[in-house]
Amino acid sequence: MSNGINNETNNRTSIALYSVKVKRQMSVILLAIIGLYIYTSIATESSLIDFIDGWSGFERVAKDLFPPNWSYAPQVWEYLAETIQMAIIATTFAALASIPIFLLSAANLFPSKWVHQPVRFIMNVLRTIPDILLAVIFVGIFGVGVFPGIMALFIFSLGILAKLMYETIEAIDTNPLEAIRASGGNTLQVIWYAVMPQVLPQFVSFGLYVFEVNVRASVVLGFVGAGGVGLLLQQQVSFFNYPRVMTIILIIFIAVVIIDYISNKIRERLV
Q: Domain boundaries in the chain?
A: 20-65, 70-268
Percent of the chain surpassing pLDDT 70 = 93
Give the torsion sign (CA, 152, 155, 161, 167): negative
Third-level CATH fold of 70-268: MetI-like fold (1.10.3720)
pLDDT, mean over the chain? 85
DSSP state of 69: -
pLDDT for 262 equals 87
pLDDT band at 17 (very low <50, low <70, confident <90, very high): low
- pTM value? 0.76
Q: Are 164 and 170 in contact (CB under 8 A)?
A: no
Q: What is the pLDDT of residues 223-251, one digit of tens each?
A: 777 778 888 888 888 888 889 999 999 99
**Which region among 18-22, 182-186, 199-203, 257-261 has the lowest average model confidence (pLDDT)?**
18-22
Q: What is the pLDDT of residues 166-205, one digit of tens each?
A: 999 998 888 888 888 888 888 889 899 989 888 988 898 8
Q: How many residues does the chain have?
A: 271
Measured CA to CA in angstroms, residue 209 lies from 40, 119, 135, 161, 165 at distances of 34, 23, 21, 10, 13
Q: In the Cβ-directed half-sphere of 242, how many Cα atoms lie within 13 Å?
A: 10
Which residues are CB-contacts of 210 (< 8 A; sequence separation ≥ 6)? 91, 94, 95, 157, 160, 161
pLDDT average, residue stretch 51-78: 85
